[in-house]
Amino acid sequence: MSQDQAEVGNLQELLARVGAGLDQFLAFEHPDALARQNVWKAALDRPVPQQGVGIDEVTRELLEQIIPNGSAVTKPGFTSYITTGATTASTLASTAASIASPQRYMHTAFNFIEELSLDWLAQMCGLGNMKGIYSSGGSVANLVGLGGARQYAFEKAGHDPARDGVNRAVSVYASSECHHTIQRAGGVLGIGRRAIKPIACDDQGRMRPDALRVAIEQDLQDDILPMAIVANLGSTNRGAIDPLRAIGELAREHGIWLHVDGAYGLPGILDERLRDLYDGLELVDSIIVDPHKWLGASVGVAATFVHDRELLQRAFTQGPSDYLEGSIDDIDATTAPLEHSLDDFSIRYFDYGVELSAPPRGIVVWALIREIGVEGMRERIVRHNDMARELAAFCKQHPRLELLLEPTLSVCCFRYVAPQIDDLDRLNQKIRRRLVRENEYLPSTTRINGQLALRPCFLGARTDHSQVDGLAQAVIRIGDALVVEQA
């Protein structure tokens, strides 16, 4: 079948078929993909097809071999890491954009929504008038924020690091609990991973401002340029929130850029009970949030906010190119009003970050917020935070569960305990493995003050209170069985 025939449009029927397959997937009645890998690998592992099979066959393979063998990330019981599946609104929006406005430039309704949704996000998350740019995830969003920090710190010293490279040693002070993408950003930005200086945390996993001050003052003595401070609003391991105001005031005192990683935890500000923990946001220079974490977006949607996007332009501009600027910038908008969506790129997001081609991601955020509103988001976030607290309360009153850390956000760190077992780390590791094999409750693990913890992070839009009791009972049942087996 030729490519042209494959292109003939019957989207309505095909999307209906795929939609039915996805609805069925969401019933989670299928076994885990790994269990059936012999079957689907045999069906899918083919040499590159010289002749196409046509869209009906592609749809059939999607429905029969691929969708049912997808990922556990979307399951209500999936509480590993900090990731989740897309909600329906997100799926509809990104599907629509892939056809009707594939790129985030030019004057289309989708691209209008790009900016609108960034402003909505900023308002919803207490960021005032900060201006945003979307990117593919927290890794890139952190990179973009720290790219702004690099530009700011070197420009103050009369040097353009984007044009000329860095010309001196710098430090970035980040909590020892910071996400490891911060170190990678150091490598990519040419300052080196070793420039990321880990700052000690308290026993709740929050960066200690006193330790931060000592590190900065030492560097100033050693003639190392303090480039940025990175604070967590919701660390990955524990959901810890760093003392933002104290850190921000220290940043102001020394004129250091304050970057905040709120990839997971920034939307926690919607929970009124936690609002005080976010005090100091006005001191922030750059901050990220990942709608594809707590807000239910399809993976591939993060946002970086700054006060001055022109700084990002200096940090990330691609420079001129004949095939782009040569043809477009000649238009004199004052004498030649725009008459076609192609007349102008509109907001030049491609100069504020590291991607040229990129989908309009704001349409996803727009759909999510439009569907349930800020109040709906707040309800979901409160529900997840409540779930972590319910589990914590249950652990405190159950003799064979131990709470290892009071939850701040929606992460709860706990473990199974039995007096006759010496190596509780190993036992809890085994519990986690069995949980994963049973394929219903899927937490990850972490270390809390040296001890191995089961670490559910309640995040998915499809997860609800029943998961709390289900997980706790499964841990007790498996733990009890393992203790008997080891006796």
Ligand X SMILES: Cc1ncc(COP(=O)(O)O)c(C=O)c1O
C-alpha distance from residue 163 to each of 109, 168, 276, 316, 403 (Å): 35, 14, 41, 10, 51
Contact range with ligand X by CB under 6 A, out of 125-133, 137-145, 155-163, 402-410:
137-145
**Residue 428 touches ligand X, criterion: CB under 6 A:** no
Kindly report the three-state secondary structure assignment for every residue of 14-65: HHHHHHHHHHHHCCCCCCCHHHHHHHHHHHHCCCCCCCCCCHHHHHHHHHHH
Give the distance between the most distant pair of CA atoms in the chain.
86
Least Å from the CB of residue 237 to ligand X: 9
> Reduced to 3 states, what is the DSSP secondary structure of residue 403?
strand
Residue 259 has a CB neighbour count (10 Å cut-off) of 28
The correct pick among 120, 264, 294, 345 for binding ligand X (CB under 6 A) is 264
Torsion of CA 427, 428, 431, 433, to 10 degrees: -100
Give exposure, 41-59, as e/b (b: 16+ Cβ within 10 Å). Answer: eeeeeeeeeeeeeebeeeb
Which CB atom, from 166 or from 388, has the smaller least distance to ligand X?
388
Residues 89-128, one symbol each (x = binds ligand X by CB under 6 A, - = not), give ----------------------------------------
Which CB atom, from 176 or from 317, has the smaller least distance to ligand X?
176
The correct pick among 177, 219, 242, 261 for binding ligand X (CB under 6 A) is 261
The correct pick among 229, 269, 302, 435 for binding ligand X (CB under 6 A) is 302
Which CB atom, from 117 or from 183, has the smaller least distance to ligand X?
183
The correct pick among 74, 87, 111, 181 for binding ligand X (CB under 6 A) is 181
C-alpha distance from residue 268 to each of 194, 227, 370, 380 (Å): 31, 28, 19, 10
* Adjacent-strand bridge partners of 411: 457
Which CB atom, from 137 or from 147, has the smaller least distance to ligand X?
137
Which CB atom, from 236 or from 428, has the smaller least distance to ligand X?
236
Residues touching ligand X, count (CB under 6 A): 14
The correct pick among 87, 108, 236, 385 for binding ligand X (CB under 6 A) is 236
Q: Which residue is nearest to ligand X (CB)?
A: 138
Cβ-contact 8, 415 below 8 angstroms: no
Which CB atom, from 260 or from 283, has the smaller least distance to ligand X?
260
* Adjacent-strand bridge partners of 174: 198, 230
Least Å from the CB of residue 299 to ligand X: 7
**Residue 179 touches ligand X, criterion: CB under 6 A:** yes
Contact range with ligand X by CB under 6 A, out of 168-176, 195-203, 258-266, 314-322:
258-266
**Residue 242 touches ligand X, criterion: CB under 6 A:** no
Contact range with ligand X by CB under 6 A, out of 138-146, 341-349, 357-365, 377-385:
138-146
Which CB atom, from 301 or from 482, has the smaller least distance to ligand X?
301
Report the alpha-carbon distance of residue 311 to residue 189 in Å, rounded. 15
Which CB atom, from 108 or from 235, has the smaller least distance to ligand X?
235
Least Å from the CB of residue 428 to ligand X: 22
Cβ-contact 270, 378 below 8 angstroms: yes
Report the alpha-carbon distance of residue 99 to residue 299 in Å, rounded. 18
Cβ-contact 261, 236 below 8 angstroms: no
Report the alpha-carbon distance of residue 115 to residue 366 in Å, rounded. 10
**One-letter amino acid for residue 100 of the chain:** A
Report the alpha-carbon distance of residue 113 to residue 306 in Å, rounded. 19
The correct pick among 137, 148, 267, 360 for binding ligand X (CB under 6 A) is 137
Query: Which 8-state DSSP code applies to residue 446?
Result: E
**Residue 138 touches ligand X, criterion: CB under 6 A:** yes
Contact range with ligand X by CB under 6 A, out of 131-139, 277-285, 310-318, 443-451:
131-139
Which CB atom, from 179 or from 309, has the smaller least distance to ligand X?
179
Type and span of the H or E element at 162: helix 161-164
Least Å from the CB of residue 3 to ligand X: 34
The correct pick among 219, 242, 271, 290 for binding ligand X (CB under 6 A) is 290
Which CB atom, from 219 or from 290, has the smaller least distance to ligand X?
290
Say which residues have a Cβ less than 8 Å from residue 419's Cβ, sequence separation at least 6: none
Contact range with ligand X by CB under 6 A, out of 223-231, 257-265, 378-386, 466-474:
257-265
Which CB atom, from 219 or from 242, has the smaller least distance to ligand X?
242
The correct pick among 225, 263, 412, 475 for binding ligand X (CB under 6 A) is 263
**Residue 195 touches ligand X, criterion: CB under 6 A:** no
Cβ-contact 305, 127 below 8 angstroms: yes
Interacting residue ranges for ligand X, rule: CB under 6 A:
81-82, 137-139, 142, 179, 181, 236, 261, 263-264, 290, 302
